[in-house]
Amino acid sequence: MAHEAIDDLALRVRPDEPVDVATEMSRIVNRTIIRVFFGDRIPTAAADRIIPALYDIATSLVVRMALPRVPHRLPLPGDRAFHRGVATIDDVLLPAIREARRHRDGGDDVIATLCAASGSDGAELSERQVRDDVVTMFVTATETTSLTLTWLWPILRAHPEVAQRLYDEIDHVVAGDRVRHTHVPELRYLRAVLDELLRLYPVGWIFPRTALAADVIGVTGIPPGATLLVSPFLTHQMAEFWPDPQRFDPERFLSGGIPHRYAYFPFGGGPHQCLGRHVFQVEAQLIVASLLSRMRPVPSSAPVPSLKVAATLLPHERVRMAFAPASRQQVV
């Protein structure tokens, strides 16, 4: 799954020809998740249309997030881009859902499972319900992984000592083989690198929550029904929990662990954490290890991009990097 997309990238890249990192990472992640979640119901060419649609949706939501009480009937900047993105995603997913509803083949992919499911009233799920659940699962499984991997490469470029330690671990653990799920528990430094990336660049940087009852935080009264904004991005920067919080240091997650239960919550907290958490924790490691088994980023003096605040934390500038074959035994 991921291997096919990575092999395709390895055949196309040249050390003197930078590629758009966000596009390539999204393509690899999308193709992996499409196969895992949807089998052969959605062709690769159709899946690739979702990449820019998700980007448009993420960037267009920022105004609505800043003005949550404005009724949806009143147009705001970004609404047109949002609706175009939704229309593209519907154009890709709805035909597959309708086909699965017409021909119930007993498949075990997500679409087939939802089409065979019933709601709390015993009735089958509506097309809208299936569509909403499919989109939720797809977005949570892809957005965190593809965006985090987009940030990974400029960070490795800016921290060559971290990059070299990561390369050494992958070369030692994988040892010229194809990367497999059995390698994941041994890739401890890779997991720490990804954890530190999510500390500095949490994909979901702010979460709205509704107060179910009156409460007091410090000296501030919270009425029932109030909307509270909880920010992993701000919490992950608190020097009270994270010494020198601006510094990228994966060692934090190898030595002392997380200093407080809610000092680190890139996937939210409590029982309703992001559905993409477990997918990310396995697939991201497999994808990075597979990529670095085949190729390495070409050194460059380009800085780490600044942040662009949208529904997610995006690089303000498009990340372009060149890759070269890894200088060791070719992966079989």
Annotated binding site for heme: 274
CA dist., res. 29 & res. 137, Å (int): 13
The helix/strand/coil state of 209 is strand
Binding-site annotation: residue ranges: 274
The helix/strand/coil state of 236 is coil
Residue (of 29, 89, 84, 75) closest to 56 by Cα position: 84
Give the CA count within 13 Å in the CB-facing half-sphere of 66.
Answer: 10
The contacts found for 329-332 with CB under 8 angstroms, 24 or more apart, are 329/176, 330/176, 331/174, 331/176, 331/177, 331/178, 331/293, 331/294, 332/176, 332/177, 332/178
Output the six-digit token pair for 259.
Answer: 């200093």
DSSP-assigned letter for residue 17: B
Q: Which residues pair with 20 in a beta bridge?
A: 320
CA dist., res. 276 & res. 37, Å (int): 12
